[in-house]
Chains A and B, each alone.
Chain A
Amino acid sequence: MTQRSRNLLLLAPAGAWFLVMLVIPLTVVLIFSFGERGAAGGYVPAFTLDQYANLPARWAAFKNTLILAPAGTLASLLIAYPLAYYLAVRADPRWKTVLLVLVIVPFWTSILIRSYAWIFLLGGRGIPALLAAIGIEDVRLINTPFAVLIGIVYGYLPLMVFPIFVNLDRLDKRLLEASSDLGASPWRTFLQVTLPMSLPGIATGCLLVFILLMGEFLIPAILGGGKVFFVGNALVDLFLQSRNWAFGSAVAATLVILMLVTVTAYMRLIRRLGAQREDVALM
């Protein structure tokens, strides 16, 4: 057996998988997106651009996603970075591993159950009741975009902490000492040494969280009370409520194209920023 045919054989299962589970389904979605809705729902073959022309009807969902996904990514980053920094640079080395593991442990209960716990915490008997006790009356948290943002940060925090931690942990601490020996203020050291060194971790974490947020459905559904609507929620409704497979396919295809464009552009940008570095992102 030649090396080439052996390689082809090794690739065969993965190739078949990609074909049946990725290429065919995406092709069907693309074909359906040019079709029409059946009288009772579903799909009727046709060739029309009507579904794409109707996309502005979901503009609000795209807009919410395009606002809350970057906002959620940024919020996760702002909260995760100091923690990752603390764990990598400041924490007692003996406790480092334990503290790190403690960041993932909450991940082992279903995201559904954890989000459900937030319904209680953000509901009238949770945090608002505590606030009322100290005199801040009538705070409404649950079923607002803010509640969704909390759920997002909560759900994706570990995905942001880890890549940044790994980066900062590898950072040579002597660099920091050198910088301060040379008379740089701590803030200046951070801006000129630490932050640039941790950019790859930031880039990876942001990419992971952003990708997941673009397709988010559960957190807005549970903590947004049906009022905060992402593209993911629009898709679920289109397939499971109005049963408009043709339009749903057009929305799905648009989401995929939108993601390919934004993520590719993002990765180009990151590559250019860190041209000399090899380990920029996960991919």
Chain B
Amino acid sequence: MTKDNDHISKRKFMEELYRYKRGSVTRRHFLGVTGLGTASAVLAAAVPALRPRRAWAQGDIGDRVVLATWPNYHDPANFEAFTEATGAAVDVNVFGSNEEMLAKLQAGGSGWDVFVPTNYTITTYVGEGLIDPLDAARMANYDASAFDPRFAGPGIVDNTLYAVSKNWGTTGYAINISKNDNVTPTSWKEFWDMTMDSFSGRTMVHDYQLTTIGNALKYFGYSFNSVDPAELADAEKLLLDAKPHLFAINSDYQPSMRSGDAWMTMCWTGDGKQMNRDMPEIVYVLGKEGGELWSDFYAIPKGAPHLDAAYALIDFLLTPEVNAKEALFHGYPVADSRVNALLPAEVLNDPILYPAAELLDALEFGAAATLTDPNRAELLARFKSA
């Protein structure tokens, strides 16, 4: 952050942030008090492309841009700002899994301009000829050197830039510890054992193959990405045993966790953060055996109907202070060092967002093979229909 806003303490910043979120202060007030506004103004002066340019907008990039993304993953205020600046309304399509996104693109005629694939899917999109390379010159706010290569790397296939990093995170589980004598479990073994015991009828698992099968594999200490038939057979047995004890198989778990119908669920970083923020008894756990580390990207599908708007939207969302607001809203870590420089220390020191090294080291990136492996797909289908 710039020197101008040192007068506001970190605590005060978070207080203001919560007030802003609750809607008791306006965005302008929030940005003014916290200095984020000053920061944006300074940044905007430095980078001319940041200033809303009306002329650039109307007629030029069209009146709409279609974005396919994940639930609870954007600050609606940023879309409003984009529309105000460019005249293009952002049409948001929300998806539940990478498989579903791939299916829509494979079927053709999706009409998307920008979509948000996860690291392990990008080589498949390239192989299937479903995405176009990105022209870095059309994204003034894209600075390759600012990104952590660990998370931004999968966007580059065969030395060609296909996708730029959006956020990264982990997949662990969220548990309402008030239902567990305030004891916080630490492993996937406990997750599955509790599901079949004291938490029977209260656990949710994701509705797609990677994490549901992957975290069942972790129970036995196998690789999260295994496609080995014997290991998958063990995972299948566990899943089938657990199924009668599940509350639901559904990747939209926040409503059930918040209402108290579900007590434990497989969970992504940001959702864990969002629930923990409002209900401290819901905590986020990374299994010590490991699990998924992931990284999401912005990419443009082949034949995007509003290509100019697509680039404009990606460029806008990569703008460090816009991206910082996104991160504060959804609670997912960013791989862009320019954004992290704008985020308060509370966020950067948050153990949910930035887990301890030993927990992080045990995690694996999802492997491309799991996406297209017919056995994993069929296993999940058998599990769901059982």
Contacts and interface: CB of A to CB of B under 8 A. Distances in A.
Q: Do A and B come into direct contact in the complex, CB within 8 Å?
A: yes
Interface in A211-258: 225-227, 229, 233-234, 237-244
Nearest to A123: B261
B184 interface: no
Given A57-B378, A240-B103, A244-B377, A225 B201 contact: no
A239 B248 contact: no
Contacts of A58: 381, 385
Most buried by A among B104, B247, B261: B261
A201 to B, nearest CB: 35
Nearest to B384: A229
B131 to A, nearest CB: 13
Interface residues of A, number: 31
Nearest to A41: B106
A37 B103 CA distance: 13
Nearest to A241: B99
Contacts of A115: none
A242 B210 CA distance: 12
A73 interface: no
A99 B306 CA distance: 51
B382 to A, nearest CB: 7
B180 interface: no
Contact of A240 (B99, B250, B256): B99
B281 interface: no
A13 B247 CA distance: 50
Nearest to A229: B385
Contacts of B386: 60
Contacts of B124: 40
Contacts of A226: 207, 248-250, 384
B282 to A, nearest CB: 15
Contact of B385 (A61, A119, A242): A61
A162 B124 CA distance: 52
Interface in B96-139: 97, 99-100, 102-104, 106-107, 124, 127-128
Given A57-B382, A227-B243, A123 B259 contact: yes
Contact of B261 (A61, A142, A237): A142
A146 to B, nearest CB: 14
A140 B244 CA distance: 13
A239 B100 CA distance: 9
B31 interface: no
A226 B97 CA distance: 14
B372 A237 contact: no
A243 B99 contact: yes
A227 B385 CA distance: 7
Contacts, number: 88
Contacts of A119: 255
B250 A225 contact: yes
A58 B207 CA distance: 17
B250 A41 contact: no
B380 interface: yes
B151 interface: no
B260 interface: yes
B191 interface: no
A59 to B, nearest CB: 8
B384 A237 contact: yes
Contacts of B260: 124-125
Interface string B166-204: 000000000000000000000000000000000001000
Most buried by B among A124, A239, A240: A240
Contacts of B48: none
Interface in B196-219: 201, 207-209
A243 B106 contact: yes
Nearest to A58: B385
Contact of A234 (B201, B246, B256, B381): B381
Contacts of A240: 99-100, 103-104
B250 A241 contact: no
Contact of A40 (B104, B128, B209, B248): B128
A241 B259 contact: no
A122 B260 CA distance: 13
B374 interface: yes
B246 A37 contact: no
A55 to B, nearest CB: 12
Interface in B361-386: 371-372, 374, 377-378, 380-382, 384-386
Given A40-B127, A64-B385, 17 more contacts: A40-B102, A40-B106, A40-B128, A41-B372, A123-B256, A124-B260, A225-B247, A226-B384, A227-B243, A227-B248, A227-B249, A229-B384, A233-B385, A241-B380, A241-B381, A242-B99, A243-B377
10 interchain residue pairs of minimum CB distance = A225-B248, A226-B249, A242-B377, A60-B385, A229-B385, A241-B99, A124-B261, A240-B103, A61-B385, A40-B372
Interface of A: 37, 39-42, 57-58, 60-61, 64, 119, 123-125, 140, 142-143, 225-227, 229, 233-234, 237-244
Interface of B: 97, 99-100, 102-104, 106-107, 124, 127-128, 201, 207-209, 243, 246-250, 255-256, 259-261, 371-372, 374, 377-378, 380-382, 384-386
